[in-house]
Amino acid sequence: MAPTPILNPRPNLQYSVKAMNVDSEIVKLRDEFPILKYKTYLNSAAHGPALRRVHDAVQDWWRFKMCEDGSPRMPEPKAEASKLIGADPDEVCWVTRVSQGLNTVAGMSKLKKGENIVVTDLAYPSNVFVWLPYKAKGVEIRRIAHHDGRIELSDFEKAVDDRTRVVCISRVEWTSGLKYDMETISEVAHDHGAVVVDDAYQAVGPTEVDVHADGVDFMTFGSEKWLCCPTMAGVLYVRRSLIGDYDPSYRFYMTVDDIAKIGQPWLYADHDNLASYEKPLLRTAEKFDSGCVSEEALWGFNACLGFWNSLDKGQVERRVKRLSGYLIDGLRSLGVKVNTPLEPENRAGLVTYTTGRYEVNQRSVSALASAGIIVAHRYAGGVGGVRVSTNVFNTEEEIDRLLEVQGKQLK
């Protein structure tokens, strides 16, 4: 007789943990990230280290798929996703990555000749690239120029006018580490009838995010960076009052309202590949879901989101800002130029600095990697250098090791 397979040792599939104090229980928290036993990992702005529970969740998904063990109760990741950003579940849908979220919004925006889109010259390429087709239609892409890595509210007030239809920015810029006051920027945009498209990939996780309080109209973030989950899962938030005003350019048949209610339509004798689908779409943000995020990815993402929701968001942000401030103080004592704002309210966990020479920056990143300290090397708009990510699991001792290695490269 063949042995009975061991199926799902975690039957509730929610992978929840008791809320922990991120400072007093940092050892327990760090145990969630196996790579920290081997590396000093300071690169969450590029790829976060995978959570142990994400691995467990995906393994469970494969057990069910391989062994066909009945019908497991599926997790409810939309509840977790919306909780993390202060939204309601019917205001979020899935995307594979932030680029898809931005493309979804750009593709259904109806912009006309003479109108404009406001972006910044520090933005990640996706924030600008998705709008380029509108240039051929006579729409201006108005780019705010930074001042030594800083962009002030007054710069937005000057750039946004009554012909602005979209303000598309990164809540935290990916090379300068500048963090915007999204509530105030939303007010500026809305005063002129524009919508705000918020790329929060570098913000969700290390900072508190409340889309309702901030007043943003669209927001997208992904799994791979600060949230420490493998790629190919992400979220698009659409403010409820706007859902009925937009129609997706990419249409997924399962977002037809009637179909979503009855389930698989091909199980019914009257299924027709035209008549069954010529009906209104869902009235929630799910109408924008392209159906491209895999079930496997969502099981892992659910476990990831549950972990972050088990942490006090205020504690997380305070710890992350304390660590980035500790890093900045140490870097300034070495005499390198820090690109990231010194004021805690204007930064999160992303810090970049330059030694003043590109070659020394490159050599520094290599030397850090050789010492088991993982960082990145990034530039945009002439701002950048060595990029360090202080996530909630990092410690002052890890930063001290980075400063010691970096100091040797300056001699």
The pLDDT-based confidence of 62 (bands split at 50, 70, 90) is confident
Q: What is the pLDDT of residues 172-207, one digit of tens each?
A: 999 999 999 999 999 999 999 999 999 999 999 999
Q: Which CATH architecture has domain 77-308?
A: 3-Layer(aba) Sandwich (3.40)
Asked if the domains 77-308 and 313-409 are classified in one and the same CATH topology, the answer is no
Spatial separation of the C-alpha atoms in residues 54 and 229, rounded to whole Å: 7
Spatial separation of the C-alpha atoms in residues 136 and 139, rounded to whole Å: 7
Question: Global pTM?
Answer: 0.93
Give the residue-averaged pLDDT of 295-322. Answer: 95
* CATH class, 313-409 region: alpha beta
The backbone torsions φ and ψ at residue 265, rounded to the nearest 5 degrees and listed phi first, read -70, -25
The pLDDT-based confidence of 70 (bands split at 50, 70, 90) is low
Give the residue-averaged pLDDT of 56-82. Answer: 81
Residue 7 has pLDDT above 60, yes or no: no
Residue 320 has pLDDT above 60, yes or no: yes
The pLDDT-based confidence of 331 (bands split at 50, 70, 90) is very high
Give the residue-averaged pLDDT of 154-178. Answer: 98
| Domain boundaries defined on the chain | 77-308, 313-409
Which helix (DSSP H) or strand (DSSP E) does residue 198 occupy? strand 195-199
Give the least confident one: 85-94, 212-221, 255-264.
Answer: 255-264
The pLDDT-based confidence of 61 (bands split at 50, 70, 90) is confident
Query: What's residue 351's pLDDT?
Result: 98
Query: What's residue 76's pLDDT?
Result: 82
Q: What is the pLDDT of residues 223-263, one digit of tens each?
A: 999 999 988 999 999 999 999 999 999 999 989 998 888 88
Give the residue-averaged pLDDT of 116-140. Answer: 97
Spatial separation of the C-alpha atoms in residues 291 and 92, rounded to whole Å: 13
CB proximity list for 134: less than 8 A, separation 6 or greater: 106, 111, 117, 141
Q: Dig out the tokens for 378 from the structure.
A: 């990034």
pLDDT > 70 fraction of the chain, expressed in percent and rounded: 94
Query: What's residue 19's pLDDT?
Result: 73
Q: What is the pLDDT of residues 340-381, one digit of tens each?
A: 999 999 999 999 999 999 999 999 999 999 999 999 999 999
Length in residues, the chain: 411
| Selection from 34, 107, 46, 141 nearest residue 374 by Cα | 46
Residue 264 has pLDDT above 90, yes or no: no
Query: What's residue 361's pLDDT?
Result: 98
Which residues sit opposite 380 in a β-bridge?
383
Evaluate the CA torsion angle 362, 367, 370, 375 in order and state its sign: negative
Q: Dig out the tokens for 373 from the structure.
A: 């300290």
Residue 8 has pLDDT above 70, yes or no: no
Give the chain's mean pLDDT.
93
Please tell me whether residue 150 adopts helix, strand or coil conformation.
strand
At 406, which amino acid appears? Answer: Q
Q: Dig out the tokens for 332 from the structure.
A: 């300034």
Max avg pLDDT among 47-61, 88-102, 286-300:
88-102
Which helix (DSSP H) or strand (DSSP E) does residue 378 occupy? strand 376-380
**Between 73 and 308, the higher pLDDT residue:** 308
Q: Tell me the DSSP string of 9-69.
A: SSTT-------B-TTTTHHHHHTT-GGGGT-EE--TTT-PPPPHHHHHHHHHHHHHHHH--
Query: What's residue 72's pLDDT?
Result: 62
Contact 348, 320 (CB under 8 A): yes
Q: Dig out the tokens for 374 from the structure.
A: 């993982």
Query: What's residue 295's pLDDT?
Result: 87
Q: Dig out the tokens for 330 from the structure.
A: 């140490």
Spatial separation of the C-alpha atoms in residues 315 and 21, rounded to whole Å: 8
Residue 88: CB atoms within 10 Å: 16
